[in-house]
Amino acid sequence: MIDALIVAALLAMMAAIAVAIVRQRNLFGVIVLFGAYSFIMATTLAALDAPDVAMTEAAVGAGISTVLMLGALHLVKTMEAKPAEGAIGPLVVVILVGVLVAYGTLGLPSFSDPQSPIHRHVAPRYLEEGLKETGVPNIVTAVLASYRGYDTLGETTVVFTAGIGVIALLRRRRRQEPGK
Amino acid sequence: MNDIVLRVVGKLLIPFAVLFALYVQFHGDFGPGGGFQAGVIVAAAVVFYALIYGLAEARRVVPDRVVEAMVALGVLLYAGVGVAGIVLGGNYLDYFVLHANPVEGQHRGIFWVEAGVAITVSGVMLKIFYLFAGRGRDEPPVP
């Protein structure tokens, strides 16, 4: 009960910050609010007993991305430009998509239902045999690095590809081409 | 930035940030954390250093050459663990064959795999930061 209250309060704060982000025209303020949003997201994940994800969210979402966005802000104007068109069309699209997403969630099993299919497929085996097979008490690490090693290899390759893409786009050329 | 408070606090905190990253890396088997988190924390420590002492100084401490090598090295290490499984007579990414004792083999496999993840993640994060922060300083402003 108290857990649900804490999570609900945190989610309400996140919604309030999201509204503030939309209303804020100063991009520096927006970035600071993004950082606050990520920190509350991390707190929510910690409250939901997911410390591994909370740690990632705090470090990547609130830490590194804030610095990267500040670095990007250094290159552009600090005030958001006035939108070229009215807000009615986008508002209709957003409300429609929101209603559709909310309708879609009705088909999901209820939150943390132990009988939902995702918890009855391979998860019980991981939980029961994980410590015996891998000797690693943190089941998250065991699943991530061992049982789902292929997925993590793919994930690391995605990070690698993202890095290579940014290097290819932003790296300064060593030689100036003649005639340019 | 020439703020004495930031410089002193940075000097005090950055070693502990790196130490915490190592804890998160090597204690990931028992507590929360692992390669991804540790890599990001290492990158964040260097970003912190660059914010206080300047980008040029950070690039001197952690040169671009090293960072770019790390980007590729981590993935190669991870994939190499997989190949080691094949060489030792198992399947790709099979950790059981890495040691005579299967549980010990799992430990060994997870250790090196997590090390690979940490190396690539910290390299990519740092490289992206270097590229973003280094832009626009000596280039003409875009009209």
Using CB atoms and an 8 Å cut-off, which of residues 75-114 of chain B contact chain A? 75, 78-79, 82, 93, 95, 102-104, 106-107, 109-110, 113-114
Q: Quick check: is A35 in a domain?
A: yes
pLDDT in tens, A124-145: 888 888 888 888 888 888 888 8
Specify the pLDDT at position B141.
46
Is residue A2 located within the same domain as residue A76?
Answer: yes
Q: Quick check: is A179 in a domain?
A: no
CB contact under 8 A, A163 and B124: yes
Tell me the three state secondary structure of residue A162.
helix
Examine the pLDDT at B142 and tell me if it is beyond 50.
no
Specify the pLDDT at position B1.
58
Is residue A2 located within the same domain as residue A71?
Answer: yes
- Supply the DSSP symbol for A61: I
Q: Closest Cα of chain A to B7: distance in Å?
A: 18
| Number of domains into which chain B is organized | 1
Instruction: Report the C-alpha gap between B117 and A177 in whole angstroms.
Output: 37
Q: Which residues of A touch B58 (CB under 8 A)?
A: none
Q: Domain of A124?
A: 113-171
Please report which confidence band the pLDDT of residue A176 belongs to, taking 50, 70 and 90 as the band edges: low
In this complex, is the C-beta atom of A162 within 8 Å of any C-beta atom belonging to chain B? yes
Interface test with A, best of B25, B68, B117, B129 (most A CBs within 10 A): B117
Residue B42 in contact with residue B118, Cβ under 8 Å?
yes
- Supply the DSSP symbol for A171: P
Is residue A126 located within the same domain as residue A71?
Answer: no
How far apart, in Å, are the Cα atoms of A177 and each of A1, A172, A180, B134, B140?
67, 12, 6, 21, 18
Higher model confidence: residue A179 or residue B52? B52
pTM: 0.84
- Supply the DSSP symbol for A104: H
Instruction: Report the C-alpha gap between B62 and A91 in whole angstroms.
Output: 47
Residue A160 token pair: 């690698």
Q: Domain of B24?
A: 4-133
Interface test with A, best of B42, B51, B75, B86 (most A CBs within 10 A): B75
Q: Quick check: is B143 in a domain?
A: no
Q: Which of B35, B44, B106 sits opposite A135 (nearest CB)?
A: B106
Specify the pLDDT at position B136.
65
Which of A106-115, A164-173, B11-20, B92-101 ranks highest by mean pLDDT? B11-20
Specify the pLDDT at position A136.
81
Q: Which of A133, A144, A159 sits opposite B106 (nearest CB)?
A: A133
pLDDT in tens, B26-70: 888 888 888 889 999 999 999 999 989 888 999 999 999 999 999
Is residue A64 located within the same domain as residue A120?
Answer: no
Examine the pLDDT at A30 and tell me if it is beyond 90.
yes
Q: State mean pLDDT over A91-120.
A: 88
> Which secondary-structure segment (H or E) carries B73?
helix B64-87
Is residue A74 located within the same domain as residue A21?
Answer: yes
Specify the pLDDT at position A13.
96
Q: Closest Cα of chain B to A1: distance in Å?
A: 25
CB contact under 8 A, B113 and A149: yes
| Number of domains into which chain A is organized | 2
Q: Closest Cα of chain B to A138: distance in Å?
A: 5
Specify the pLDDT at position A175.
53
Please report which confidence band the pLDDT of residue B143 belongs to, taking 50, 70 and 90 as the band edges: very low
Task: Supply the mean pLDDT for chain B.
Answer: 87
Q: Closest Cα of chain A to B86: distance in Å?
A: 14
